[in-house]
Chains A and B, each alone.
Chain A
Amino acid sequence: MVISPVHYIAVPLLAAFLIPLLSKFIHKELARIVPGIVFLYSIFISITLMLQIGDKGIISEVIAGWQAPWGINLVFSPFSGFLASLMSIIGFLIWLYSYNFKKIDKEQSQKYHILQMMMVTGAIGIVLTGDIFNLFVFMEITAITAYSLTSFYRERDGAEAGFKYLLIGSFASVLILLAIMILYTQLGTLNMAEIAQKSHLIPTSLKTTIIVLFLVGFGIEAEMFPLNGWAPDAYSQSPGPIGAAFAGIVVKAGVYALVRVIFTLFDIHGAYDFLIYGGLITMIIAETSALAQTNLKRMLAYSSIGQMGFVLMAFGIGTHQAIVGALFLMFNHAIIKSLLFMSGSYLTYNSLTKQISALSGLGKKLPLVSILFGIGAFAIVGLPPFSGFWSKLYVLSAAADKNMLLLIMTILAVSIVEIIYYFRVVSTLYYGKQNPEIEIQKPSINAMVSMIALGITILVVGVYPDVITNLLENAATALTDKATYIQSVLTQNLPIN
């Protein structure tokens, strides 16, 4: 069998179709196990393809034999490949974590696993696809599964968060659809490479309109202020691992789309400043809002929004190093925030309420989880020797190359706020008064494994960032090198075999 990027999408879709049947006719447990196998397979594809593109450059795969401008194609570049691999890995870890997660198992866990798998598939589709409408479709797949997962717990507030998400998400879909429509009327094509090639032909005012529509549409997914009203609710009300998936996968896809539009499709430099300021404001508002949160997951949600603002801002700086930094940030944010959500949800699970004050003294009862949470907190605020530091350094020194002193100082000032609320949690964990009445639910082994894997990644990357920087360099080059992208999609489009 030949490995191709199509498998990323085809296999999970097939699996999603088969799982209800299998679980009904063969064994119930299969509904929970199959997604894991699918994720493992995705990781396998990722590794194979990443090794392949090492020498081949960009793989452009067409679906159903149609040539590139006309047919739908999947592009596996170092950039999209990097994100796809990241998403598969995080997806797998989240599956591993939520496998026999007690609170999920109380509900219908097979639905959960299918939805989660589909969400990751949608996100991977967004990253891989070379067709703008296809991107829209994948985005909707992701979004709809995300709405369902947000309201997965039949608790009071899950539905509320889901509905808000849906309301705003619908706007996103409308706007993106509108933008695609105008784009299509202008260029008559939906292929991203071709759009990129021809985008200079669009009249300026229309072009900016399209960009605005895209920015607002994808900005909603990328949690840009003021479009992120849904985010804190969705993060805090969804099951813990889904919070991790939002931070590590869904939002990443949104950022990917936003960045694709700005860097590849239109390559419009005015948008860089927009990204910087948008990102900066997002970061400031979100981090300062996180400061006063009493609910752990909501705090993590705001922090996540802030981090995404940071990522956008890093992209906005626009130099190669900044993009490397931004990608590094995305990577870090994916693993660290996943770790935080995973360990955090065990902590909140054991504290009866999600309040931070209720966590006091859990450090002694759940030592490993607490240490992992601590590592996550230290990493996300950018303390060496954890991985968060390096991404921050990359971005900051990129900003310094452009002599943006004020920007740097603002970022760091916001980081101080971040430090305050994260350290408050850590100190509550370890040094608060213990509540003896709580009965402790120890995390299962698989959950521990996935969290420890993330923790070790954080440490390893933190001590020796070289393991990841090569990948990031390639990815950044792939993102900014528009010409190669167009060329490899439009000419290298021979269907494999």
Chain B
Amino acid sequence: MYNLELQNNLITTSVYGSAIALILIGLYAVLVKKNLIKIVIGLSIIDAGIHLLFVAIGYIKGFTAPIFSPGSENLANKMVDPVPQALVLTAIVIGFATTAVALSLVIRLYKHHNTARIDQIKSLKW
């Protein structure tokens, strides 16, 4: 079980803070910016923020990477949980795929509509 109490470490706090800031920045981009590319970038930023947050939560101060290598067997209880990192890796891949699809769609939208403003692309409505 992990404690969620915030460690007094300034660095850790700043990591959490920047993660949340990233999420909010991304959200701002997605919700307010009109340009499709900017929206896609915003989505990526949100993803990045989430990933950062997850990794940060998984990290315990002073623990090492969860890699078993010769000579590190005795460090087994001093390792951080590998699962969040594994998850984040997967999520990054997924985010990559999503971004790729998104960008291809943006290209096609631009071709069809001659604009990249999301508020002008609403031929499907109601």
Contact = CB atoms under 8 A, between A and B. Distances in A.
A384 to B, nearest CB: 33
B57 A185 contact: yes
A188 B2 contact: yes
Contact of A160 (B50, B84, B109, B126): B109
Given A148-B101, A163-B36, A184 B126 contact: no
Interface of A is mostly: helix
Nearest to A178: B50
Given A137-B94, A140-B98, A156-B123, A181 B53 contact: yes
B124 A160 contact: yes
A154 interface: yes
Nearest to B47: A174
Nearest to B94: A140
Interface string B88-126: 001100100110011001101100110000000111101
A170 B26 CA distance: 12
Contact of A185 (B2, B90, B122, B123): B2
A181 B54 contact: yes
Interface of B: 1-2, 4, 30, 36, 39, 43, 46-47, 50, 53-54, 57, 81, 83-84, 87, 90-91, 94, 97-98, 101-102, 105-106, 108-109, 112-113, 121-124, 126
A144 interface: yes
Given A156-B112, A160-B123, 9 more contacts: A140-B97, A144-B97, A144-B101, A158-B108, A160-B124, A164-B124, A181-B50, A181-B53, A292-B126
Interface of A: 133, 137, 140, 143-144, 147-148, 151, 154, 156-164, 166-167, 169-170, 173-174, 177-178, 180-181, 184-186, 188, 190, 232-233, 236-237, 289, 292
Given A173-B98, A178-B50, A184 B106 contact: no
A233 B87 CA distance: 32
Given A137-B94, A163-B36, A167-B39, A151 B108 contact: yes
Contact of A237 (B53, B81, B83, B124): B124
B119 to A, nearest CB: 12
A137 B91 CA distance: 8
Given A177-B50, A177-B91, A181-B50, A160 B83 contact: no
B61 to A, nearest CB: 16
A220 B51 CA distance: 21
12 contacts: A137-B90, A151-B108, A160-B113, A160-B123, A162-B105, A163-B102, A170-B98, A173-B98, A174-B47, A177-B50, A181-B87, A188-B2
List the 10 closest pairs (A to B, CB-CB), nearest first.
A159-B108, A233-B124, A140-B94, A163-B105, A159-B109, A156-B112, A170-B43, A181-B54, A159-B105, A162-B105
Contacts of A190: 83
Nearest to B49: A174
Contact of A173 (B54, B94, B109, B121): B94
B126 to A, nearest CB: 7
B83 A184 contact: yes
The residue among B54, B57, B113 with the most chain A CB atoms within 10 A of its own CB is B54
B112 A159 contact: yes
B124 A163 contact: no
Given A144-B97, A160-B109, A167 B50 contact: no
B101 A174 contact: no
Given A180-B87, A185-B2, A188-B2, A166 B101 contact: yes
Most chain A beta carbons < 10 A, residue from B4, B94, B123:
B94
Contacts of A166: 98, 101-102, 105
A147 B124 contact: no
B27 to A, nearest CB: 9
A151 B108 CA distance: 9
Contacts of A188: 1-2, 81
B16 to A, nearest CB: 12
